[in-house]
Amino acid sequence: MTTDWDVIGYVISSDHRVVVLGRLAEGPATPTRIAEDVELSVSHVSRALGSLREKELVELLVPEERRKGRVYGITSAGEEVWADISTKDLAE
């Protein structure tokens, strides 16, 4: 496994992305549940999820057309990035 510093730098440049990725490392959740767990607004969580999906660090676990009850999970790439962030103490 090689460390992708570009992706790590992208994630840690936003506190919101860091906490959302960290929460999903604990298990799948809806944006509302994530927001409650990490004490952010749902809109901040949704934006973070969108940007993390673009980097293929998280994925939607239900059909794309579903509007309510959208469950997100961390991908294997996301797990690797989170492992690097947490073991190298890069999250603030």
Average pLDDT, the chain: 94
Q: Please say if the pLDDT value at position 78 is more than 90.
A: yes
Averaged pLDDT, 58-78: 95
Residue 50 vs residues 1, 19, 70, 71, 81: alpha-carbon distances, Å: 25, 14, 13, 13, 17
Q: What does pTM read for this prediction?
A: 0.94
Asked if residue 1 has pLDDT above 60, the reply is: no
For residues 30 and 72, give the distance between their C-alpha atoms in angstroms, rounded to a whole number: 6
**pLDDT band with cut points at 50, 70 and 90 for residue 2:** low
The CATH code that applies to domain 5-87 is: 1.10.10.10
Sorted by where each begins, the domain ranges of the chain are 5-87
C-alpha span between 64 and 83 (Å, rounded): 28
